Amino acid sequence: MKALNQLTATEIVGAIADGKTTCEAVTRACLDRIAEREPRVQAWQFLDPELALKQARALDRASTRGPLHGVPVAIKDIIDTDDMPTAYGTPIHTGHRPRVDAACVAATRRAGGVIMGKTVTTEFANFHPGKTRNPFDPTRTPGGSSSGSGAAVGDSMVPLGVGTQTTASTIRPAAFNGCVGYRPTWGDLRCAGVMEAAGSLDTLGLIARSIEDVALFRDVLLGEKPQPLAGPSSKAPRVGFCRTHFWDRCDDTTKKMLEDCAAKLSRAGARVEDVTLPQDFERLPDAHRWISSFEFARNRAWEIDHHWEMISETLRKGRINDGLTCSFDKYRESRAFAERCRLKMDDLLEGYDVLLTPATAGEAPVGLNATGDASFCLIWTTMHVPAMTLPLFTGPNGLPVGAQLVAKRDADRQLFEAAQWVTRAMS
């Protein structure tokens, strides 16, 4: 049997139900892993081992069991928790104590999850990095903005992490840390109690070590009875291989791994075709820039007015400057353009179950002053479609590289089942 901290959420629930372990034992195993690795990885913004163990012991005494019974979960530090501080990645809010849990935290507790602690985020879930290092190589970024959640799951500190995504903030750290990362169809998962960056784009993001865990956690957050997936033996998917307009930003190794993946899926029985995005999609980075910046700058009006000097130069000169100089007319035109593209995307995806596309340009880059190229997620985030990165590849330096699958809006379970099939075909 694997070490308890290495079990997936689904395996933990089963082992506890079968009497093979306890909630407290699982939590202790995860805490031991954190104690061993945290000085190197620095994934946690707040961690109280006794608080985590108190939750686990209460679950061991409980007469009822939810679908996440005894599963340790990491929560990104822009998501409110009533028993832990939430600082939003900035010294401006150090020690801030919310009065209530965010909706996703409350749903996780209701399902029997153990809220382990708060994981590091970049400043206001934007560009300026926090302290977290990549667990595979501490000289490299873990990605962002859900840096700590990606690193904690990737380093077997916890089986599940909650992040968010406005551009690439879940898919990129999941890919860099060798995890399964999922960004849902925009609007499906409630963001009450989550710091808003840009509401027209924001979603929760889930990070796990298996597709089945993502599906389970999504059902929990939707308030649905968990439903098993069809399994990898389901019908071979129709796959569109979409290099995107950013293909030249991929390193040569990543290009070859994705091309080889497309060929292998075809040999395994999938219908694989090259897909080219409409030419005007080249304008999406600008549309995303103005939508996200306009909304972000107005969401942070209080911090701008009262604590300007405590905001990083990176954020002041970047997204805030963009937002403050963006007119409402430019913002409104960018939103209208994005919606026109979404309609084109709906039509394009009618012929495919999923698109296969890069998750990142390659392995996590060396350096801790940035979080990596977000280009390969930006399009899909703006299109409001569900996306998932799978840890299918290993780069030239031995670090994980993800393959991203994208489905049409509201086809999230179809995405999961195609991801199962792809994973099995690539194994």
**What is residue 249's three-state secondary structure?**
helix
Note if 169 is an active site residue: yes
Q: Is 145 in the active site?
A: yes
The Cα 405–Cα 30 span in angstroms is: 30
DSSP state of 36: H
Q: Is 79 exposed, middle or buried (0-12, 13-18, 19+ CB in 10 A)?
A: buried
**Helix segments in 22-102, DSSP class H:** 23-41, 49-61
Q: Which of 145, 156, 200, 292 is catalytic?
A: 145
2 flagged as catalytic: no
The residues, any chain, with a CB within 8 Å of residue 394's CB and separated by 6 or more, are 400, 401
Q: Which one of the listed residues 156, 169, 200, 312 is annotated catalytic?
A: 169
Task: Give the residue from 82, 81, 57, 79 showing the smallest Cα distance to 70.
Answer: 57
Q: Cβ distance 388 to 211 under 8 Å?
A: yes
74: helix, strand or coil = strand
- Cβ neighbors of 396 (< 8 A, separation 6 or more) are 253, 363
Q: Among all residues, which ones are annotated catalytic?
A: 76, 145, 169
